[in-house]
Structures are given as C-alpha cells and as structure tokens.
Amino acid sequence: MSAFLAAVLTATAPVVLAALGGLLCAAAGVFNMALEGQLLWGAFTAVLTSHVTGSAWAGVAGAVLATALYALLLSVPVVTFRADPVVVAVGTNLLALGLTAFLMRQVFGSGGTFSSPELAGLPTLAALGLGAPVLGPQSPLVPGAFALVAWAGWWLGRTRSGLRLRGIGEHAEAAGAIGLRVRRYRHAAVLGAGALCGLGGAQLALGNVTLFSEGMSAGRGWVAVVAVMLAGARPWLGLGACLLFGAAEALGFRLQGLGLPQQAADAAPYLITLLALVVAAAARRKERTA
Amino acid sequence: MSRAATAPRAPSAGGAARRPGWAAARRAVLSPALLSVAGALALTTLVMAAAGADPSLAYPALVRGALLDGNLEYTLAAYVPTLGMAVAFAVPLRAGEFNLGGDGQLSLGGITAAALALHAGGSYALPLAGAALAGALLAGLSAPLRTRLGVPAIVSTLLLSAPAVSLASYLARFPLAEPGTGLAQTPLLPEAARLPALGGSSYVTLALPLVAVLTALWLPADTRTVPGYEIRALGANREFARYGGVRVDRLATVTMAAGGAFAGLVGGLIVLGPPYRFVDGALTAPGYTFTAVAAVLLAAGRPLAVPGSVALLTILQAGGQGMEREAGVPSQLTQIVQGLIIVIVAVAAVVRAARRRG
C-alpha cells in the first residue's frame, strides 16, 4: 500500500506543478493552455543541463530558467500584443515538440529516447537520509511540489501581492485604475508558470525516470489544464483531479504487470480525468439550477 | 473565441482585385499570412545556421525533396490527408470550437475501415462510410460536453484523442492483428476494398479526387448557404446567434461531428490506400493533424486560402525529409516552422486589426 501511495505521489507531482502554474495565470486573468509544451521543454532542458554539467540539481535549475524563458513566447504575444491565447498556445506546444525532437538529434545524435548511465538523476529522500515510508523513494521535488501548492494558497489569499494578482484577474481595468501595473503582473504570472513547468519537467525526466524521450509529457500538461478549470471555483477539486490522474497512472502501471494490455493503461488516466471533469461540471450545473 | 480565426469576413480575393494595383499589392505584402511565412522562414534560416547547416544547400534540398526527382508523387499523397484534416479542424473552428483530437478520430476511422474491409467484404464504400461514422461519433461526444456542461472542445477532443489512439493500437495488435507475424498491423486488405490508383501512380489514389470534391463542396457551403452563415454567426458571437434564432446546440453538434467525420474518412482513405493495411502508428506519425491545424490558422479562417496554405506546409513537411538526407538538417525543423508560423500569425492578426482600427 505504501509503495502504491508512493507511486501515486510520483505520478502526480509533475502534473501538480504544471497545474499550479496554470492556476497562477488563471488568477491573473490569463488563459494558459501552453503547459503541455512547457512541461516537455522543461523535461528536455533538465536532461540536457544535467547531461552537460553532470549535476541533477544544475539540471533542475537549467530547466526552471530555460522554461521561464520559453514562456516569453506565450507572455509577449498574449500579454503585450493581446493575441489569442489559445492559438498562441497551440503554436508553442507544437514548437516544443519540434524543437525538442530537433535539438535531441543535433545534441545527442539520435531521436526516440535518450538515456545514459552518466546522466545524473535526482537523489531520493531515502538516499539523503530522510527515509519516511511513503516519501522515501521520492525525489525532494515531490514534497516540494505539495509545499509549493500550500505556499501558493497562502500567497494568493493572504499577501498584498497575491491579492493584487487576483484583483487583476477579477477586473483588470479597475486594477489598472488604482495604479497596478497589470501587464507586469501578468508577465510575471506567465513566466512563473513557465518556471513551475520547468520544475515539473525536471521531476518528470530526472525524478520519475532518468531519461528524455520524444513527447514524454504525453498529455500531462492538458490534464493540468483540466485541473485548473476544476480549480476555478474550488482549489481542492483541482488538486483532486491531479491526484486522480496520478492514481490512474500508478494503478494502470500495476495492472499492466498483471496482464492488462499496455494500451488500456495508457488510456485510463485521460478517460478518468475527463470523467472527473464531466462529473464536476454536471454537479456544478445541478447546483446552479437547484 | 478566436477573433482572428473565426470572424466572418468579406471574400477577400474579390475585394483586393477591385482595388487599385498598389493598394492590392500593399495589402498582399502586409497580410498576416505572408508576414508569418516570411517571419517563420527568416527564423528557420537562423535555426539552420545555428545548427551548422548551410541554408543555400538546405533550401534547394527541401524543394527537391518535395517537388522534384520523382518526389512529387509522395508530396501529393501527403497533401490529401493533410487537406482532409484541415477541413476536419476548420469546420468546427468556423463555429468557434477547436478540434484538436484529429489523431484519435483519424486512428479510429482507420481501424474501423480496416475491420470492415477485412470482415464485411465488398467494395471500399462501406469501410469509408464506417470510418467517417466512427470519426463523427468520437468528435460528436465533445459537443454535449461543450453545450451542456461547458467543457471546451479543445480540452475534451484532446483528452478523448489519446484513448482512441490507444484503442486503435490495441485492436491492431491483438484482435485484428495479422496472425503469426507479431507485427503491430492488420493483414493485407482484400483487393476489392482497395482504393484504385490513379494515372499509373502507386501512391496517388481515388482519395485525391474524393477529398478535393468534398473540400470543394465545403468552400461554397461556408460562404453561400444558410447553415454556413449560421455556423459563422455562432463562431462570431454565440449568444447573439442564439438570439437571432440559430439552434446553437444542434449546430455545434453538427459541426463537431462533421469535422470528426472528415478526420475519420481520412483515416479510412489512408488505410485503404498503399500499403493497404492498418499499421500501428503509421497514421499519426506523419503529423497530419497538426500540420493541418497550422495550415488552417495560417489561412486565418478564410476557407478559400486553406488549400493553398495546406500545399505550402505539405511541401515544407515532405521536403523536410529530403533536407535531412542531403543537408543533414533534422526534418523536425519543419515542425518548428509550423509552431512559429502559428505564433506569428496570432500576433500579426492582432497588430493588423489594431492598425485598421487606429
């Protein structure tokens, strides 16, 4: 049981980090559908930096920085030029797929999957001497992800800058009228989301596994988008969606060991996430009409 | 949802032709599509140079790889599914919905066509109809989610796409797999169900005229019929369309299903063409879905421009292989270009709208 819980937390952590980024953007009134591409870019840059420097923590730092920079491709068109956020996100997601596959061939000399015994992965908490039963096999980024969620809840609800960010999302003109620099806050939110996706990508490629393969974000960024939609009204619902996805992934992996076809295990997390979205939306609708 | 991509516009080709020559030329040069292509090509050249390739070798290799040395046949064979997928994305987009689940609809259509061809017998008509129906049903699922529960189609189509691809892959590997080979593919389809090849080519089949005719039917339907107008009204302003008497929910369902039917049909056409079987991954690997998305966004919602923009991006995609062989530039470069084109097109559309207003 504790091994299963550990697997759920591992599978959930990258999604939670991406969803937290999406939540910050939503709070600031920016629709961020670019999480999928940013997670992928984060995973790639984490592996690249770790490979070049030989240090997993440098890989994490590299991914955070590189993905925050990549998020400029979303923030400049959408915040500065007011371009359609959905169209720009479709473009940056596609760009991330192409760019990572292209650079992979240029840098590592082949496509598909890159892994190497020299590639440094993140240490587990147990290896750092912090072995609790469930958290032991996790990288420090896993408890870090959940701590960041708690911090973001406090920041958005209790601090001046957090409340201002929400005010901008609530009514940008009014916030601008009392002197808030709306664009600056929004740029910061989008770049912050990029940094969080970088962290999520690093956990995915250096924590969950120690490799990079093409398209390895595999829809997790879209699950995060769903989580943000659910979180709109109630943040715990968003976190619940992430955990549900993680549980489905971990369970599918288990059942595959028991003879379930791999395709069923691949499909389950998406179907369950969609089901959660449908149930929540139906419940919300019922509440409204009642 | 997307002002630039869905707002109804006056037919621009005619409008431009009536203006004095200079203005028309200026308009053409400053059009978001041309600016985006030029911008993306400039950035591509930079990426090429940064990757250590010589653009003066790479670009001719790209053109040769797409159009010359007998490659035109392959490019034409790739043009057909891409054009079909472009319509599959464009029809719901006119109503304001993003259908990003093309891969799932394509795969489900393909595997349905293979199953029908193998087990129902007869000509290619039934498998193609089944493929279109499978795609329509899958995409149609997203419509009630949107109209009754407010789940955007862009999210539901994507989340449904991955399981559909998995299902098709499972069917091709197990129940429908070619016995005894261990390969993830169905057996060869019977002769009667195969699409006839055209003009002595081994790659260009009946799919080409079929998709061309269906696209040619969609173009005037969009601009000159009542449903076409209602769809554009729905895309421009949902509530206003409802107020104006458009049956919004039904129309949203019809457009999503129509888009899915196109994608499913394309899957069927691929499977019933060479190599006449469903090979796992062969439908989604060439990236028809997102090449088509980029092409439609590049056409900025003007249906008449779609066949042209699809041609441009198919040439880039097909030529990418030649470029990889001759100049050593990975063919994923063309995916980079597509992504950049979409981003630049989104910005160019707003900048242009602002200039027109100001």
For an interface test with B, the pick among A72, A102, A110, A190 (most B C-beta atoms closer than 10 Å) comes out as A102
Q: What is chain B's mean pLDDT, rounded?
A: 86
Query: CA A22, CA A32: separation in Å to the nearest integer?
Result: 6
Three-point CA angle B84, B150, B287, nearest 5°: 25
Q: Which residues of A touch B47 (CB under 8 A)?
A: 102
Q: How confident is the model at residue B237 (pLDDT cuts 50, 70, 90)?
A: confident
User: In Å, how far is A220's CA from the nearest CA of chain B?
Assistant: 10
User: In Å, how far is A102's CA from the nearest CA of chain B?
Assistant: 5
The predicted structure's pLDDT at residue B11:
42
User: In Å, how far is B150's CA from the nearest CA of chain A?
Assistant: 7
Q: Are B252 and B143 in contact (CB under 8 A)?
A: yes
In the three-class reduction of DSSP (H, G, I as helix; E, B as strand; rest coil), residue A142 is classed as: helix
Put simply, the answer to whether A96 touches B339 (Cβ < 8 Å) is yes
Put simply, the answer to whether B330 touches A106 (Cβ < 8 Å) is yes
Residues (pLDDT < 50) of chain A are none
Lowest mean pLDDT among B81-90, B124-133, B184-193, B330-339: B330-339
DSSP letter for B305, please: G
Nearest CB among A101, A111, A270 relative to B163 is that of: A270
The answer to whether residue B333 scores a pLDDT higher than 50 is: yes
Q: Which residues of B touch A75 (CB under 8 A)?
A: none
For an interface test with A, the pick among B170, B332, B345 (most A C-beta atoms closer than 10 Å) comes out as B332
The predicted structure's pLDDT at residue B301:
67
The predicted structure's pLDDT at residue B200:
74
Put simply, the answer to whether A84 touches B346 (Cβ < 8 Å) is yes
The answer to whether residue B292 scores a pLDDT higher than 80 is: yes
User: In Å, how far is B214's CA from the nearest CA of chain A?
Assistant: 26
The predicted structure's pLDDT at residue B27:
67
Put simply, the answer to whether A91 touches B340 (Cβ < 8 Å) is yes
Interchain CB contacts (distance < 8 Å): A and B: 150
Average pLDDT over residues B58-65: 86
Average pLDDT over residues B13-40: 64
The predicted structure's pLDDT at residue B203:
81
The predicted structure's pLDDT at residue B10:
41
User: In Å, how far is A82's CA from the nearest CA of chain B?
Assistant: 7
Query: CA A105, CA B329: separation in Å to the nearest integer?
Result: 9
In the three-class reduction of DSSP (H, G, I as helix; E, B as strand; rest coil), residue B185 is classed as: strand
User: In Å, how far is B2's CA from the nearest CA of chain A?
Assistant: 6
User: In Å, how far is B17's CA from the nearest CA of chain A?
Assistant: 29
Which backbone phi and psi does A281 adopt, to 5 degrees?
-65, -40
Q: Which residues of B touch A94 (CB under 8 A)?
A: 290, 293-294, 335, 338-339, 342
Instruction: Identify which of B89, B269, B97, B118 has the alpha carbon closest to the alpha carbon of residue B186.
Output: B118
Three-point CA angle A262, A266, A272, nearest 5°: 130
Query: CA A225, CA A20: separation in Å to the nearest integer?
Result: 10
Q: Which residues of B touch A271 (CB under 8 A)?
A: 159, 163
Q: Which residues of A touch B154 (CB under 8 A)?
A: 33, 86
Put simply, the answer to whether A105 touches B297 (Cβ < 8 Å) is no
Residue type, A43: A
Q: Which residues of A touch B170 (CB under 8 A)?
A: 261, 263-264
The answer to whether residue B2 scores a pLDDT higher than 50 is: no
For an interface test with B, the pick among A84, A222, A262, A289 (most B C-beta atoms closer than 10 Å) comes out as A84
> Among all chains, which residue has been given the structure tokens 């691809």?
B165
B150: nearest CA in chain A? Answer: A281
Q: Which percentage of chain B shows pLDDT scores above 90?
A: 40
Compare A134 and B294 and report the one with higher pLDDT. B294
Crossing angle for the helix pair B142-149 and B125-140, to the nearest 10 degrees:
20
The answer to whether residue B274 scores a pLDDT higher than 60 is: yes
Instruction: Identify which of B66, B94, B32 has the alpha carbon closest to the alpha carbon of residue B342.
Output: B32
The predicted structure's pLDDT at residue B3:
42
Q: How confident is the model at residue B102 (pLDDT cuts 50, 70, 90)?
A: very high
The predicted structure's pLDDT at residue A56:
95
User: In Å, how far is A133's CA from the nearest CA of chain B?
Assistant: 34
The predicted structure's pLDDT at residue B48:
80
Element (H, E) at A96: helix A85-108
Put simply, the answer to whether A87 touches B297 (Cβ < 8 Å) is yes
The answer to whether residue B14 scores a pLDDT higher than 50 is: no
Put simply, the answer to whether A270 touches B159 (Cβ < 8 Å) is yes
Average pLDDT over residues B226-232: 88
User: In Å, how far is B329's CA from the nearest CA of chain A?
Assistant: 8
Q: Which residues of B touch A264 (CB under 8 A)?
A: 166, 170
Nearest CB among B174, B297, B336 relative to A99 is that of: B336
Strands A212-213, A113-114: parallel, antiparallel or unpaired by DSSP?
A: antiparallel
Q: Which residues of A touch B339 (CB under 8 A)?
A: 91-99
> Among all chains, which residue has been given the structure tokens 């439908």?
B283
Query: CA B272, CA A151: separation in Å to the nearest integer?
Result: 56
Interface pTM, i.e. ipTM: 0.90
Element (H, E) at A113: strand A113-114
- State pLDDT tens for residues A227-263: 998 887 577 778 888 999 999 988 888 888 888 888 8
Query: CA A142, CA A15: separation in Å to the nearest integer?
Result: 11
Put simply, the answer to whether A88 touches B5 (Cβ < 8 Å) is no
Lowest mean pLDDT among A111-115, B11-15, B108-112, B298-302: B11-15
Q: Which residues of A touch B342 (CB under 8 A)?
A: 87-88, 90-91, 94
Nearest CB among B159, B170, B351 relative to A263 is that of: B170
The answer to whether residue B13 scores a pLDDT higher than 50 is: no
- State pLDDT tens for residues B168-224: 999 999 899 988 887 889 999 999 999 998 877 778 889 999 999 999 999 888 888
The answer to whether residue B81 scores a pLDDT higher than 80 is: yes
DSSP letter for A22, please: H
Which backbone phi and psi does B128 adopt, to 5 degrees?
-65, -40
